[in-house]
Amino acid sequence: MPTLYEWLGGLPALEKLLGVFYGRVPADPILAPIFANMSADHVTHVAAFVAEVFGGPKTYSAELGGHAHMIHQHIGRALTDAQRKRWISLLLECADELGVPSDPEFRSAFVGYLEWGTRLAVINSQPGANVSAVQPMPAWGWGEVKGPYIEK
């Protein structure tokens, strides 16, 4: 069975999707303030992260600090649920326009990860959030998750 990474189309498809998405962010009144100082490498870094989560190369862990580094990028940003919802909505609009696979099995896994990841980002971005310095990289598949879980 192919990985989500393979089903999506690999790194070229992820970079295209995220390039279109982040290209629209500066004009979005809800998201623009969050990404006002986005680095030129942002798209390639996020693509490498999602690629690894979806079963692709472990580039993000090997070269960019793994899940702990991604979590650290959100600390202190005080992200809102409205921003989280808009991030997902705009990304899915771009996915539809670009022809990212729309079969129910893939979209269920894809949206499931987006929901989980963005909710984690909001939680970890709040002032005073208790964020562990050691976080294993999540591994997302066809209906199951392997990786860190949020303690209640």
Query: How far are the Cα atoms of 12, 16, 139 from residue 6, in angstroms, in the given order?
Result: 11, 15, 14
0.85 surpassed by pTM: yes
Domain assignment present for residue 152? The answer is: no
What percentage of the chain has pLDDT greater than the value 90?
A: 68
Task: For residues 15-29, give the mean pLDDT.
Answer: 97
The 10s digit of each residue's pLDDT in 91-105 is 999 999 999 999 999
In a domain, 103, yes or no: yes
| pLDDT reading at 146 higher than 70 | no
H-type helices in 1-152, by residue range?
A: 4-8, 10-24, 42-53, 59-64, 66-72, 81-98, 104-125
pLDDT on residue 143: 78
Mean pLDDT for 7-20 is 98
Residue 18 within any structural domain of the chain: yes
Domain count within the chain: 1
Domain interval for residue 23: 4-146
* CA dist 3 → 46, 127, 141 (Å): 18, 36, 7
pLDDT confidence band for 20 (50 / 70 / 90): very high
pLDDT value for 10: 98
pLDDT of residue 135: 78
Q: Look at residue 137 and tell me whether its pLDDT is greater than 90.
A: no
Is the pLDDT higher at 68 or at 106?
A: 106
- What would the pLDDT profile of 117-130 be if each residue is shown by its tens digit? 999 999 989 998 88
Confidence at residue 77, expressed as pLDDT on a 0 to 100 scale: 85
pLDDT given at position 151: 42
How far is the C-alpha of 49 from the C-alpha of 101, rounded, in Å? 19
Using the predicted structure, report yes or no on whether residue 36 has a pLDDT greater than 60: yes
Domain assignment of residue 151, yes or no? no
- Could you read off the pLDDT of 78-93 as tens digits, one per residue? 999 999 999 999 999 9
For residue 137, give the CATH number of its domain: 1.10.490.10
